[in-house]
Structures are given as C-alpha cells and as structure tokens.
Amino acid sequence: MGKSKYPNQQKKSDEKFDFIEQWLPPRYTTSVNILLREEPKDAVYIRKVKNRKLKDDNVLDALYKLSIFNKLQTEKQFC
C-alpha cells in the first residue's frame, strides 16, 4: 500500500486491515456482496482488495463490518 501524506490516516488503515485479517470468516465474498447491495463486486476482486490491501472504500468497509459481526458472534459463543 502506498504511503499516505497523513501518517495518522495510514496507521488507521493498517489497523483496519489487521482487524480484517484477524476476524474475517473463511467464506466471506457472498456476505460482502450482500452488504454491497447496490454495487456487488466479483469475488476475485473482493479477495484482491483484502489480500493486496487495495484502496476501495466500499469493499473495505464491507469487509470491516463483516469482521466486526464475526468477532461479536465468536465472542458471544464463548460467553
């Protein structure tokens, strides 16, 4: 990922990708497309955004939301 002019923004972006890596479920492309109702993306493109850390705000936000949802479900199971 390219360097940002704003180091704080870069740090937040890196933290977001780290959170996604940690909490994203194994099968996620269909769920991301459900979150992207109006503009669904190809599964290969969604994986490319995740793995290569491309800057696509819509897909990145959907991946982040799905990761949060998975974290909450996982933690609820262990309570």
Total count of domains within the chain: 1
* 36 found inside a domain: yes
Residue 20 lies in a domain: no
Q: What's the pLDDT at 13?
A: 77
Which range of residues forms the domain containing residue 51? 28-79
pLDDT tens for the chain, 79 residues long, are 455 566 666 777 788 999 999 999 999 999 999 999 999 999 999 999 999 999 899 999 999 999 999 999 998 887 6
Q: For residue 14, which of 72, 55, 43 has the smallest C-alpha distance? A: 55
Q: pLDDT at position 8, please?
A: 67
Q: What is the pLDDT of residue 58?
A: 94
Q: With respect to residue 19, please indicate whether it lies within any of the assigned structural domains.
A: no
Q: Give pLDDT, residue 9.
A: 67
- Looking at residue 2, its pLDDT comes to 53
Any domain includes 23:
no
Token look-up 């850390």 returns 53
Q: Is residue 49 part of a domain?
A: yes
For residue 68, being part of any structural domain is answered with yes
